[in-house]
Amino acid sequence: MTNNTGRKRDVAESFSGATDGYLEGNVLKQGADLEQLIDWCSDATCALDVATGAGHVAGSLADAGVSRVVASDLSPAMVQTATTEYCGLEGVAVDAERLPFPADQFDAVSCRFAAHHFPDPEAFLAEVERVLEPGGVFAFEDLCVPADPDLAAYVNRIERLRDSSHVETYSRAQWLDWLEATGLTVDTVYETSRELEVDAWLDRMAVPERDRQRIRSLLSDAPADLAEAFEFTYEGDGDRLASYRTGIVLLHATV
């Protein structure tokens, strides 16, 4: 495993100051994608939610009848938010790439909208495979970029400006390659999109005005192929981007 202690400390500090935005953001606390992840894990008795954030997945798992749900996150403030807002959760501040649990501990592991912050995604997947019992379910969701490397690089440049803890968003094909190499069997793949209102998306991480302007400029100058793929929608005057549809991939895998 790579040593990214400084980067991970920055991630934890960044998200400690963003708990309210993540708790209240509609993109995170509801949607058919969230319902799909919960459905995949609904038969579990002992589940782990990795990088739980404000606890939307973990809380929904508990509400669905999973008897033991562990909400884990690198940020202690996020863990505190999750366990305060949702009853019955066990909370623990841990590194997703070094899970402090025995092998075969869980029959479901979930991770939603978080892996683009992980410095070593392969280490994360290896840990998921280790802590899942045979036959256990891995329910995964994250942002996804187009297969074209130039478009992918452009998206990641914007994401890093918005959030310094952003490492990289990957393509669907990259995640499938890593899962296969890890030994997890992918049973279902959904690639979809979700609308993001640009101002709300920037507000959630309290982006400084200078960086907001740079992001707005990059969005205005985005390649036509990206504007088409992400379905850019403009305000009435046609000059200011109001929203776009970000790529998302959902994966159901088993050990």
Q: What is the per-residue pLDDT for 155?
A: 97
Give SS3 for 15. helix
73 - beta bridge partners?
A: 93
Q: Could you report the per-residue pLDDT of 14-24, keeping only the tens digit for each?
A: 544 555 545 55
Q: What is the per-residue pLDDT for 1?
A: 38
Does the structure show a pLDDT above 60 at 252? yes
Q: What is the per-residue pLDDT for 154?
A: 98
Q: Could you report the per-residue pLDDT of 111-127, keeping only the tens digit for each?
A: 999 999 999 999 999 99
Dihedral angle of Cα 155, 156, 158, 161, to the nearest 10 degrees: 170
Q: What is the per-residue pLDDT for 8?
A: 57
Q: Could you report the per-residue pLDDT of 188-245, keeping only the tens digit for each?
A: 999 999 999 999 999 988 999 999 999 999 999 999 999 999 999 999 777 899 999 9
Q: What is the per-residue pLDDT for 2?
A: 44
The two structure tokens encoding residue 223: 């390649």
Structural domains of the chain, with CATH: 5-145+165-193+248-254 (3.40.50.150)
Q: Could you report the per-residue pLDDT of 4-40, keeping only the tens digit for each?
A: 665 555 555 554 455 554 555 555 566 999 999 999 9
Provide the CA 244 distance to its chain's centre, in angstroms.
18
Cα-trace Rg, the chain: 18
Q: What is the per-residue pLDDT for 200?
A: 93
Output the pTM of the full model.
0.88
Cα(125)–Cα(131) distance, integer angstroms: 10
Nearest to 252 by CA among 33, 26, 90, 99: 33
Q: Could you report the per-residue pLDDT of 54-108, keeping only the tens digit for each?
A: 999 999 999 999 999 999 999 999 999 999 999 999 999 999 999 999 999 999 9
